[in-house]
């Protein structure tokens, strides 16, 4: 049994304006897990993850991070353990050079100068953007900006990394890059992603949490979640296209998540007898 890094009990949250954004959430996230949170806009995904690093405090219920009540620490203190990459990199990036941007987090954690420099170099090499170290972050294209935003969190080396929409607005190459980076990171970190990109979710998530109307509607492996099409339809979510195709094809399994899997399944089927003489 691996231990829980995040434990949430009976969490409810109401915004000051009176909007009840989370209702009685119970959730445990284990060390090393890759969890995807999906759901419509406004279903409470972002509100939920903002509790993981203390940006929001529960109206009722408890949030335990690494065995400690999140109430007792500030967001800045929690940032050692939980890193949160915002959806829009423009909200996050504000330094005039990429390398300063990456150094900002480690410096806040009061690291020594050569340690900061080492982190900057290692992180930028990991995301393959070392060549842009002296560029202004806002001069980069969106794909690179998103990577820099992720890198600025990686450099702080938090155990948990939350990624809000890591692939939104990106081209195919950008999506593939983000995907392989997340896979690399998942070897040493617990990853939580919020995404509308069902392909990404089905490829990388070990567990999917579906949110609907401020509550957790269901949770399970991608295969378990994507076969429950009627429940998903309630939240206007659809499984990846290849899964939909296999679900609508006679004789195919309904929990196929990738093209390779689809082809493998096809090979096991016998050709139709009508062609034989």
For the chain, state the CA radius of gyration: 21
Among 53, 123, 167, 202, binds another protein (CB under 8 A): 53
Contact in structure between 91 and 146 (CB atoms under 8 Å) = no
Give SS3 for 109: coil
CB of 37 or CB of 257, closer to another protein? 37
80: contact with another protein by CB under 8 A: yes
Provide, rounded to whole angstroms, the least separation between the CB of residue 106 and another protein: 8
Footprint of another protein on 229-258 (CB under 8 A): none
The single residue listed with the structure tokens 């903002």 is 50
109: contact with another protein by CB under 8 A: yes
The single residue listed with the structure tokens 């899964």 is 243
Among 12, 23, 55, 168, binds another protein (CB under 8 A): 55
DSSP of 166-197, one letter per residue? TTTT--HHHHHHHHHHHHHHTTTSEEEEE-S-
Contact in structure between 127 and 182 (CB atoms under 8 Å) = no
CB of 89 or CB of 174, closer to another protein? 89
The single residue listed with the structure tokens 């967001």 is 75
**With contacts defined by CB under 8 A, how many residues of the chain interact with another protein?**
34
Question: Taking CB under 8 A as the rule, which mask of x and - marks residues 125-144 in contact with another protein?
Answer: -------------x------
For the beta sheet containing 34-39, the strands, ordered from the edge strand earlier in sequence to the opposite edge, are 82-85, 160-164, 190-194, 34-39, 207-212, 215-220
**Phi, psi angles (nearest 5°) of residue 246:** -70, -30
58: contact with another protein by CB under 8 A: no
19: contact with another protein by CB under 8 A: yes
Footprint of another protein on 146-205 (CB under 8 A): 152-153, 156
3-state secondary structure 197-220: CHHHHHHHCCEEEEEECCEEEEEE
**Which pair of structure tokens corresponds to residue 198?**
């069902």
74: contact with another protein by CB under 8 A: yes
Sign of CA dihedral 70, 72, 76, 79: negative
Provide, rounded to whole angstroms, the least separation between the CB of residue 74 and another protein: 6
CB of 35 or CB of 162, closer to another protein? 162
CB of 95 or CB of 242, closer to another protein? 95
Among 20, 24, 69, 90, binds another protein (CB under 8 A): 90
Binding site for another protein (CB under 8 A): 17, 19, 21, 41-44, 46-47, 50, 53, 55, 74-76, 79-80, 83-84, 86, 88, 90-94, 104-105, 108-109, 138, 152-153, 156
């Amino acid at each position: 049994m691996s231990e829980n890094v995040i434990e949430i009990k009976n969490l409810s949250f109401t915004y000051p304006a009176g909007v009840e954004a989370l209702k009685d959430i119970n959730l445990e996230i284990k060390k090393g897990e890759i969890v995807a949170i999906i759901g419509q806009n406004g279903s409470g995904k972002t509100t939920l993850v903002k509790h993981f690093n203390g940006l929001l405090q529960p109206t009722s219920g408890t949030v335990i991070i690494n065995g400690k009540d999140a109430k007792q620490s500030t967001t800045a203190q929690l940032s050692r353990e939980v890193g949160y990459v915002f959806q829009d990199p423009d909200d996050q990036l504000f330094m005039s050079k990429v390398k300063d941007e990456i150094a900002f987090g480690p410096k806040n954690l009061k690291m020594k100068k050569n340690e900061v420099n080492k982190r900057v170099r290692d992180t930028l090499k990991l995301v393959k953007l070392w060549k842009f170290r002296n560029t202004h972050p806002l001069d980069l294209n969106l794909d690179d900006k998103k990577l820099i935003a992720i890198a600025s969190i990686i450099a702080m080396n938090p155990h948990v990394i939350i990624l809000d929409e890591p692939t939104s607005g990106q081209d195919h190459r950008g999506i593939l890059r983000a995907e392989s980076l997340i896979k690399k990171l998942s070897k040493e970190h617990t990853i939580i992603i919020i995404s509308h990109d069902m392909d990404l979710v089905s490829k990388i998530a070990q567990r999917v949490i579906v949110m609907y109307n401020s509550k957790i509607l269901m949770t399970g492996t991608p295969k378990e979640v994507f076969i429950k099409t009627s429940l998903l339809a309630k939240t206007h979510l659809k499984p990846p296209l290849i899964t939909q195709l296999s679900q609508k094809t006679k004789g195919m399994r309904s929990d196929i998540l990738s093209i390779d899997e689809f082809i493998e399944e096809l090979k096991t089927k016998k050709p139709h007898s009508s062609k034989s003489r």
